[in-house]
Structure 1
Amino acid sequence: MPGLLDICQDLFGSNDLYEILGVKKESTAKEVKKGYHKVSLRVHPDRVSPEEKEEATKKFQALGRVYSILSDENKRGVYDETGDVDDDESDVTRDRDWSDYWRLLFKKVSVDDIKTFEKDYKDSAEELDDLKSAYLENEGNMDDIIDTVLCATIDDEPRFTKILKGLIKKKEIPDFPAFSKEGKSKKNARKRKHEAEAEEAELEAKKLGLNGEGSLQALILKKQQSRGAAADDFFSQLEAKYSKPQKGGGKRKGKK
């Protein structure tokens, strides 16, 4: 039976455990955990299409084994010194339910978490940096700006416009025509798109048993789920910020 390093080489094209998690050898335990979380989100069996599920499951299991080594001070020390892992010991973990293990580390993000994150994020220095980056990367296209900035909806457009005009006046960012010369027809189209999304969000909120502001959080959640890699970063920030290990150890079950 192939060892973990051979499995990693086959699945990820590398047998460097740090490289697989996207971290450095000198990374802290917190950084290793964040790296594991970010990579595992991309291949979580519950977040991929049916045709990708089999390979994603294999990768998800391998990532769990990788993290179980790098999160253990002694096992990590042996790996750092020798470049090898104890496959006999690693085999013991093969039958662990890695979904249970993952959920012990990262709880699901709730609507309340999104509300709290949104409250802290809006009007923060972090949001301002993200807004400037989105403006520059999208050359002033407000549609793309709203789709890029975390938690943003069309309700933030007047606020974003005021901030960006101030930054342009101070010459901190260039004046892109797509921003300063945007026509009413495009703005109206964006408004109609928002209204359609809001209706969908209302339905989603009802499915989730939410009322009132819940529709806004449902809209944010829906928009973020459609943003590809950006969604991973969004959920990564939320889950890393609000997740706390649940009490009790993981139970051994069949593999997922």
Structure 2
Amino acid sequence: MFVFKPDIKMSEDEFRQIRDFIYDHCGLHFDIESKYMLEKRLNRRLTQLNLESFKDYYYQLRYSRDRDEELSTVIDLLTTNETYFFREDFQLKTFTDEIIPEIMQKKRGSGDRSLRIWSAGCSSGEEPYTIAMLLMQNPEIRRWNVEIIGTDISKQILSLAREGIYGKGSFRSTDDFYIDRYFTDQDGKLRISDQVKQLVSISHLNLLDQQRISLLGKMDAIFCRNVIIYFDSEAKKKVISSLHDQLHSGGFLLLGHSESLMNISTEFDLRHFTHDMVYQRPERKRAGGVL
């Protein structure tokens, strides 16, 4: 017989403890208005772990041997991994039609034939795979060394990205051309081709971990769309500063359409393109030309 178990209430002290612990780990910020949301979403974990209070859960997060895995579960519960292929297509058109040709023209002059692009907050992989498919439409790209890196803080969602199998919701903005060319049917879903996958590497990364971010190396372009909305002002500044440092001189930062760097950073120029506005790390100047 099913016995109804009422939700466990979260005190303000417990809310502050859990909220601050999550913030210190990864920069996700929850104000007091989020208390009810945390209480509702984390109740299922208390039930699954057979815990009696949020105080017990806080100790679980802080001191248990599997605390890293549990914190990853918390992040999955508290964030929205809403994404799909070819999201914000006007920005992608700017990327393929104007930004990539500009980067390639600049690199040809130095004999460099490499492109490095980072999808920071790649969720289940639709964004980095979209970038790969778009680049594959450029015949000249085949003679270049292309590396697309997708990272996310959620280990669970990254397993879906590595698997590369997607349901209908991921294709709401996808032209049949790409589905026919780069996907195959698998048990009612669509699997992305190995041809696309080989351009993309997927790994776990906390955007507040500056040391690990520095190991990624320099990028020509960084997509960080609909990610910094989860951070408070201080964490946003830290993340954007790290992204700036990872870009080559003249590299591009693509944010979500509702995001801006106003009151966050003055280190970027805002470039006006035909279909969108995109942030760019300024070119380093020297006497007689550009570095």
Give TM-score, length-normalised by structure 2.
Answer: 0.27
Q: Hey, which of these two has a bigger chunk of helix by percent?
A: 1
Q: Hey, which of these two has a bigger chunk of strand by percent?
A: 2
